[in-house]
Amino acid sequence: MLLFILVFNSGTFILLGPIPILNSSIMEILVNWSAENFFGVERKIFFTHSGSGDTRFHWYALFIILNLSVIGTAIWTLIGKRKVNYSKLYYWLTVFVRYYIGIMLIVYGIVKLFKSQFPFPNIIQLTKPLLQFSPMELTWAFFGSSTAYNIFIGIAEILGVLLLFRKTATLGTLIALATSLNIMAINYFYDVPVKMVSTILVLLSIYLLAPNIKRLFNFLVLQKNTALLTIPKPAIKNKIVKWSLIGLKYLSIITPIAATVYRSWDINKYLIKFVDTDSELFGYYYIPLSQYENRISMDIPSQWQQFVFRNNETLIVRTAEMNSNNYTIKLDTTAKELKIIGKSGEKDFVTSYKKLSNGNLELTDLNSENNTKIILTKINIDEIPLKTNGFRWVIGE
């Protein structure tokens, strides 16, 4: 348990950041040795920052942790002091576990409040056919489409703060268990690559509740009077140690929260740059049937059907089969000229452009003598149901 938290820190304890155990050279050696000797894997395995917490490297690292834990327990049992209990060790272990779950949930809750984890689907996702969505992409689009729901689940996760205080730890654990179960189910059934960590959050929550399981069952199921076990306050007589621990506690809480707020703010600034809604041509367009003769005159490839302008540098062209191709564009907003730079074997398209009053885009071919025009019809993304259908008490007659 302790080994897992230390190795798979996931940025929860920032003070452990300078000790990157998971991607250390020692762990790489152990992972590859285990993969070769226990599982017959001959190729070399590397740790990668791919965003996935369920890579082969992660699972082999978990295998190593499990084996080290079994070996360590066996050694402790054989040569350890014969004590009736280890109440102090147990207490500090539960503190470490409570802080791991609590801070992780708080961090995830904050990124939901800022919508940096689940931003509203951008124009690329909104115009992408559903059949091309992976289960994870569908999940992200679902959560991102509702700001209110982001706030709701964000608050539920931020309630992990209750785990950080003894008197509210049991209530916080119950909330954490429910929240973690939901996260784990989503990760399992929508193929989100954080299955390992979400599972451990559930198991650790059950571990914290274990001393009170019988009492909770008596109260919730058998409806008997009962009292929960309280977490004893440790007797620390040395004032320097006491205040040092208090300082460390709040440093451990405030530091990841501050870092998460800053990171969320930075991510949102990046997302704004990625899809520039202020771009003059920003939008989703298609070639209507009425313009097919003009497209032939302009020698526009027959497979080009839809155009997604997301900023002043990038154009996404979709074919009739809904396959997407990225093109670099050069936009001269002063001369009102647009250049689509063709890929290998394709010609460049140089046109002037004009935004019509209804939002459609008129392109004039500057490469031809007769200046053929074509009009691209725009679909107003701001009027789609995901944006216009808010909360309603009454739906239907």
d(CA 310, CA 235): 61
Q: What string of DSSP letters covers 255-288?
A: HHHHHHHHHHHHHHHHHHHHS-TTSTT-EEEE--
Do 314 and 328 form a contact (C-beta atoms < 8 A)?
yes
The confidence score (pLDDT) of residue 250 equals 86
SS3 at position 147: helix
| C-beta separation of 16 from 6 below 8 A | yes
Please count the CA atoms within 13 angstroms of the CA of 193 that sit on its side-chain side. 13
Q: What is the dihedral of CA 110, 112, 117, 120, to 10 degrees?
A: -150
pLDDT by residue for the chain (397 residues), tens digit each? 788 888 888 777 776 665 678 888 889 999 999 999 999 988 899 888 877 889 999 999 999 999 999 998 888 888 766 666 677 888 889 998 999 999 999 999 999 998 888 989 988 899 888 999 999 999 999 999 999 999 999 999 999 999 998 889 999 999 999 999 999 999 999 999 999 999 999 999 999 999 999 999 999 899 999 888 877 777 777 888 888 888 888 888 888 888 888 888 877 777 766 677 788 899 999 999 999 889 888 888 888 999 999 888 889 999 988 889 999 999 999 999 999 998 888 888 999 999 999 999 999 988 777 788 999 999 998 888 888 888 888 888 7
**CATH number of the domain at 283-382, out of 2.60.120.10, 3.30.1380.10, 3.50.50.60, 2.40.128.50?**
2.40.128.50
Question: What is the rounded distance in angstroms from the CA atom of residue 126 to the CA atom of residue 224?
Answer: 53
CA 48 to chain CA mean position, Å: 17
Q: Residue 60: enclosing H or E segment and its boundaries?
A: helix 56-79
Q: What is the pTM of this model?
A: 0.85
**Token pair of 89, please?**
């060790």
How far, in Å, CA of 184 to CA of 171, rounded?
20
Each domain of the chain, given as residue ranges in start order, spans 83-274, 283-382
For tokens 């890579």, the residue is 55
The residue written with tokens 């202020």 in the block is 278
SS3 370: coil
Calpha distance 273→310 (Å, rounded): 10
Residues 104, 109, 110, 112, Cα dihedral to 10°: 130
